[in-house]
């Protein structure tokens, strides 16, 4: 019933649909196009001959209980309740050529003879276009930043399917047997058990000394030290600083060994998880990072997010120079541990308002930067009326008191994936029209990373006005987060329903791969002013929260964390998050 | 494409002062736009309580058993309707009923 064309699965038309098309000329659904009505609040498409028509079955007057279908050939409306009676089927069987009908409330084609949905590319294109045109009438023109909209080829690059491997428990090989005996230290034995149990704190909690306005670095390091996949990688000796090729300069083993940020990370992991509780000074790491990011080398205050990005780049650079590793596709995340953990893929759809042609591009990303909503004045109405996504924002309209005008992380994500009209100064060159046209752009997430980092844009820099300011507004963030509504498959489906898209809408359901549920494990907060502020990280270990303020680590109540001013929030896939029992690691 | 004749009117003057029929309520709901809003509310509630995911799972299981090319929309509707109707949470039913009552009260002649 379906065939693959260029990797896209298109449902084959049934014989009745084929017959209908062949007998009704090149545009068999042309008359229907005028009847497509897009209904607020959800933006769903319906079929109505007049805008206020109440559809009713021509045979039995039924209008409320069953699905109603309009015959495409003669526009007569009939009910269809397969369990009881179907006047739509009666009609279809009695008049040849009248088998194809359209669901009046969903604008989906149906073959009454086959009893199944059918799909027609032209009809679906018309519906998608109608919904898009409706979107522009209701979406406000926001001054969105112009991202480069590269025109993609006819299809995106082939994304590799994840290979499944059977589980086999680990057995040490001969080399590992030896090193186990000689060099490794058991985590808990008679000698260090007392050290650990005396403090009653989980493993890996150690203060970091401030070396001079380095709280930006300490806060990010604390978050990374407890990022589960990253922690497992380094504690699992996957990057050994003694054997590292990069650092030892495989070409010439000079004394000035080339810097490797991953080795320095390895050293910090060893130090922090050693069981020693006295505060640690990451001076070597700071020095290495200065060499890597020379423009940021100073004792001035820095932005934690900038540091985070430059750190990931630093770890990535190491592997890129290894010529043996083949260049993996963008976003594949196979290049280095930093990308394996943090890299996801964003999808951007830019749709021409005039002809509906859509250009889809995929870009890898290591985090998502979110804008805080502009001041709403507490009513919350401004954001909800213009949305296309049906369910989530409609809640705001229904229950204006529910969030009381407080910004939430989900609200920011919803805004991030909302369709926006690109301003008239950002007209996009449409391949089909061959001119610049006004367009609608929508972001969604094609592939979720193992760890999602959300960065709240609290620091606004205006080069025009030559000033910067900090946005202090409170942002509410959840401890558990489901990213399903922001995936590409969800966004497209909630906008258009069951369609063949005139652009690439067919994707394997991302929820089949890994779960979409995430758990919060680290929050980096900023307090103070833009030029004089302080970063603090809150970590969630064994379901307890710990405040990491440079060298001071204290256990805090979760209410403190909820009330904190979040700047960067780190979420890990729930399947990787171990809600350890409280007694683990302590005697 | 020829248009069929319009359906005959169903309401007569006697009925207006009695309890409105289902058809009349339906028309009122549709014409005021309330039906669309109720549908959106219902969709959200069923999503929140996992009902939609349950139905999806049922459809998937059925389709896997019968084979992807041997299943029609009507089959799926037939299979999940009884279970679906039975598993709508009472709180959702109550909320919708309450809203409909409130709407009818506010628009009573």
Q: What is the mean pLDDT of residues A16-45?
A: 80
For the four alpha carbons of A330, A346, A294 and A524, in that order, the dihedral sign comes to negative
Name the token pair of A557: 């109540």
Say if residues A307 and A567 touch (Cβ distance below 8 Å). no
A260 is catalytic: no
Kindly state whether A41 is in contact with chain B, defined as any CB-CB distance less than 8 angstroms: yes
The list of chain B residues with pLDDT below 50 reads 1, 14-16
For strand A8-11 and strand A2-5, is the pairing parallel, antiparallel, or unpaired? antiparallel
Tokens 């998937």 -> residue: B60
**Angle, in degrees to the nearest 10, between helices A215-225 and A304-320:** 60
A200 or B77, which is more confident: B77
Confidence band for A98, pLDDT divided at 50, 70 and 90: confident
Task: Read off the pLDDT of each residue in A197-209 and give the average, rounded to a whole number.
Answer: 77
Return the pLDDT at A570: 97
Q: CA distances (Å), A31 to each of A34, A213, A517, B1, in order?
A: 6, 69, 44, 9
Decide if A461 is catalytic. no
Range from A39-53, A374-388, A547-561, B11-25 that averages highest in pLDDT: A547-561
User: Residue A152: is its pLDDT beyond 50?
Assistant: no
Band of pLDDT at residue A248, cut at 50, 70 and 90: low
Q: What is the reported pLDDT for A477?
A: 95
pLDDT for position A123 = 86
Which residues in chain B are closer than 8 Å to A64, comparing Cβ atoms? 22-23, 26
Given a contact cutoff of 8 angstroms between Cβ atoms, the answer to whether A314 and A289 are in contact is yes
Which of A148-162, A521-535, B44-58 is predicted with the least confidence, judged by mean pLDDT? A148-162
* Interchain pair B77, A31: CB under 8 A: no
Integer Cα distance of A477 and A409 in angstroms: 5
What's the pLDDT tens digit per position in A341-357?
999 999 998 888 888 78
The secondary element (H helix, E strand) that includes residue B31 is helix B22-32
Confidence of residue A526 (pLDDT cuts 50, 70, 90): very high
Q: Please give the residue of chain A at the shortest CA–CA distance from B39.
A: A42
Task: State how far the Cα of A88 lies from the Cα of A139, in Å rounded to an integer.
Answer: 37
| Averaged confidence pLDDT in chain A | 76
What Å distances lie between residue A41 and A61, A381, A415, B35, CA to CA?
Answer: 27, 13, 16, 11
> Residue A587's pLDDT is what?
35
Q: Give the Cα separation of B80 and A555 in Å (integer).
A: 50
At residue A388 the predicted structure's pLDDT band, cuts being 50, 70 and 90, is very low
**B81 contacts chain A (CB < 8 A):** yes
CATH for B32-107 (1.10.246.140, 3.40.50.150, 2.40.30.10, 3.40.640.10)? 1.10.246.140
Structural domains in chain A, sorted by start? 2-138 (3.30.40.10), 177-330 (3.90.70.10), 343-514 (3.90.70.10)
Q: Which comes out higher in pLDDT, residue A148 or A250?
A: A250
Q: Residue A378's pLDDT is what? A: 37
Q: Is the minimum CB–CB distance between A75 and chain B shorter than 8 Å?
A: yes
pLDDT of residue A425: 81
Q: Kindly report the nearest CA distance between residue B87 and chain A, in angstroms.
A: 19
pLDDT band per the 50, 70, 90 thresholds, residue A56: confident
Of A63, A83, A394, which is closest to B78 when you measure between CB atoms?
A83
| A531 band by pLDDT with thresholds 50, 70 and 90 | confident
Candidates B2, B7, B48, B81, partner chain A, best to mutate (most A CBs within 10 A): B7
- DSSP class of residue A329 equals P
pLDDT band per the 50, 70, 90 thresholds, residue A253:
very low
Where residue A415 falls among pLDDT bands split at 50, 70, 90? very high
Strand pairing class (A407-408; A475-476)? parallel
CB A208 within 8 A of CB A224: no
Please report where in the chains the tokens 């896209």 appear, as a residue. Answer: A8
Q: Does B23 touch chain A (CB under 8 A)?
A: yes
Asked if A249 has any chain B CB less than 8 Å from its own CB, the reply is: no
For A278-324, how does the pLDDT look when each residue is reduced to its tens digit (9 = 90+)?
999 999 999 888 888 877 677 777 889 999 999 998 888 765 555 44
φ and ψ at residue A162, rounded to 5 degrees: -70, 130
- pLDDT, residue A539, reads 95
Q: Is the pLDDT of residue A150 over 50?
A: no
Average pLDDT over residues A439-455: 92
Query: Is residue A542 very low, low, confident or very high in pLDDT (cuts 50, 70, 90)?
Result: confident
pLDDT at A164 over 50: yes
Mean pLDDT within A209-218:
92
- Is residue A183 very low, low, confident or very high in pLDDT (cuts 50, 70, 90)? low
**How much of chain A, in percent, has pLDDT values that exceed 70?**
73
What is the pLDDT averaged over residues A132-161?
Answer: 41
B36 inside 8 A of chain A by CB: yes
Q: Which residues contact A580 (CB under 8 A, 6 or more apart)?
A: A202, A541, A542, A543
Question: What pLDDT was estimated at residue A348?
Answer: 92
Tokens linked to B22: 């289902």
Per-residue pLDDT at A293: 81
Instruction: State residue A397's pLDDT score.
Output: 37
pLDDT higher than threshold 90 for residue A540: yes
Categorize the per-residue pLDDT at A502 as very low, low, confident or very high, splitting at 50, 70 and 90.
low
Looking at A11-169, list the stretches that DSSP marks H as alpha helix, in order from N- to C-terminal side: 15-23, 30-33, 87-94, 121-138
Q: Which residue of A has its CA nearest to B68?
A: A1
Catalytic residue among A44, A57, A79, A215: A215
* Surface of A (100-129) touching B: CB under 8 A: 110, 114-117
| B51: closest CA of chain A, how far (Å) | 14
Find out whether A351 and A358 touch, Cβ atoms under 8 Å. Answer: yes
Q: What is the pLDDT of residue A294?
A: 74
**Segments making up each domain of chain B, as ranges:** 32-107
A417-435 mean pLDDT:
84
Residue A521 in this model has a pLDDT that exceeds 80: yes
Q: Please report the pLDDT score of residue A400 as a whole number.
A: 36
């Amino acid at each position: 019933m379906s065939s693959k064309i260029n990797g896209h699965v298109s449902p084959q038309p049934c014989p009745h649909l084929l017959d209908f098309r062949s007998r009704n000329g090149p545009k068999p659904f042309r008359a229907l196009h005028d009847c497509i009505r897009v209904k607020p609040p959800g933006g769903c498409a319906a079929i109505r001959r007049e805008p206020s028509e109440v559809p009713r079955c021509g045979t039995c007057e039924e209008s409320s209980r069953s699905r109603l279908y309009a015959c495409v050939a003669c526009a007569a409306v009939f009910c269809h309740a397969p369990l009881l009676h179907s006047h739509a089927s009666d009609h279809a069987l009695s008049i040849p050529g009248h088998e194809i009908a359209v669901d009046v409330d969903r604008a989906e084609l149906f073959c009454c003879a086959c009893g199944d949905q059918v799909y027609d590319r032209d009809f679906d294109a018309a519906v998608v276009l109608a919904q898009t045109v409706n979107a522009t009438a209701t979406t406000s023109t926001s001054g969105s930043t112009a991202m480069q909209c590269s025109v993609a080829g006819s299809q995106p690059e082939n994304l590799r399917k994840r290979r499944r491997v059977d589980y086999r428990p680990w057995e040490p090989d001969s080399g590992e047997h030896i090193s186990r005996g000689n060099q490794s230290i058991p985590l808990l034995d008679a000698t260090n058990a007392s050290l650990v149990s005396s403090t009653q704190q989980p493993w890996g909690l150690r203060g970091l000394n401030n070396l001079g306005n380095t709280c930006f670095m300490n806060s990010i390091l604390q978050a990374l030290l407890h990022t589960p996949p990253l922690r497992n990688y380094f504690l699992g000796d996957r990057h050994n600083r003694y054997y590292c090729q990069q650092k030892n300069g495989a070409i010439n083993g000079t004394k000035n060994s080339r810097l490797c940020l991953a080795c320095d990370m390895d050293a910090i992991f060893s130090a922090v998880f050693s069981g020693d509780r006295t505060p640690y000074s990451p001076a070597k790491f700071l020095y290495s990072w200065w060499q890597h990011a020379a423009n940021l080398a100073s004792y001035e205050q820095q932005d934690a997010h900038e540091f985070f990005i430059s750190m990931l780049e630093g770890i990535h650079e190491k592997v890129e120079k290894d010529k043996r590793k083949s260049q993996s596709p963008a976003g594949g995340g196979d290049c280095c541990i930093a990308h394996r953990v943090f890299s996801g893929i964003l999808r951007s759809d830019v749709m021409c308002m005039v002809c509906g042609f859509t250009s889809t591009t995929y870009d890898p990303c290591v985090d998502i930067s979110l804008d805080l909503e502009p001041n709403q004045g507490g009513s919350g109405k401004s954001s909800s009326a213009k949305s296309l996504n049906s369910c989530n924002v409609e809640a705001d309209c229904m229950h204006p008191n529910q969030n009381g005008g407080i910004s939430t992380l989900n609200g920011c994500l919803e805004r991030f994936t909302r369709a926006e009209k690109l301003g008239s100064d950002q007209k996009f060159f449409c391949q089909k029209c061959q001119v610049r046209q006004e367009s609608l752009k929508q972001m969604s997430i094609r592939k979720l990373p193992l760890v999602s980092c959300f960065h709240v844009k609290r620091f606004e820099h205006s080069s025009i006005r030559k000033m910067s300011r900090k946005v202090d507004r409170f942002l509410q963030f959840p401890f558990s987060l489901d990213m399903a509504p922001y995936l590409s498959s969800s966004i497209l489906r909630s906008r258009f329903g069951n369609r063949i898209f005139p652009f690439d809408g067919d994707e394997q359901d991302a929820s089949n791969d890994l779960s979409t549920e995430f758990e919060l494990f680290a929050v980096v907060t900023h307090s103070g002013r833009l030029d004089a502020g302080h970063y603090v990280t809150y970590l969630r270990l064994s379901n307890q929260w710990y405040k990491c303020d440079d060298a001071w680590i204290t256990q805090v109540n979760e209410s403190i964390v909820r009330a904190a001013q979040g700047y960067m929030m780190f979420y890990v896939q729930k399947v990787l998050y171990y809600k350890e029992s409280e007694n683990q690691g302590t005697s | 494409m020829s248009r069929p004749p319009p359906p005959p009117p169903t309401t007569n003057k006697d009925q207006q002062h009695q309890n409105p029929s289902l058809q009349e309520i339906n028309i009122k709901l549709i014409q005021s736009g309330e039906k669309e809003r109720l549908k959106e509310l219902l969709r959200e509630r069923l999503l929140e309580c996992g009902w939609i995911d349950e139905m999806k799972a049922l459809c998937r299981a059925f389709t896997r058993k019968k084979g992807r090319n041997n299943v029609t929309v009507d089959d799926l509707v037939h299979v999940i309707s009884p279970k679906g109707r039975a598993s709508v949470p009472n709180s959702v039913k109550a909320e919708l009923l309450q809203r409909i009552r409130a709407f009818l009260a506010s628009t009573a002649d």
